[in-house]
Amino acid sequence: MVSIISGLPAEFWSVRYDGSRFPGAAAVAARPGLAPGANCQVFAYEVLRHYGLTPPDLRSSELWSDTEATVHVPVAEPLDLVLFNSTTRAYGAHIGVHVGDDAILHLCAEVGHPTVWAAADFAARERYAIRLGAKRVLSPRPA
């Protein structure tokens, strides 16, 4: 966890949550990057890109069903994507990045900026209470 967290540049920690900035949104196409804000998906994908992975720009339900660029994994490892929701459906699921141990880096409206939570922190909130599972991006993994 320390190496992933400490390896992120300062600008990752100042990203503000903006629900209108999701994969495929006109706002993201017009002003790419994290400076204008991001939703959980855009933020998580940029974290992975910082570490050399190439996640597809998919919404959560598309990511969950994707089999070309990602694979379901039974146990999350660092830099895997973890999905949470209030139901067992992937539509509208929240996405974070597993950073080691029991820690997940994510961006949510509740906090407003990037934060690291344990699984219990997600379970304690109705909107994130169900952990759908983890997905691993198939592009080359950093050493």
Task: Give the domains, in start order, of the chain with CATH numbers.
Answer: 2-137 (3.90.1720.10)
pLDDT, tens digit (0-9, with 9 covering 90-100), for 92-118? 999 999 999 999 999 999 999 999 999
pTM score, two decimals? 0.93
Residue type, 39: N
What pLDDT score was predicted for residue 1?
A: 47
Residue type, 101: D
Range from 69-83, 110-124, 128-142 carrying the lowest mean pLDDT: 128-142
What pLDDT score was predicted for residue 29?
A: 85
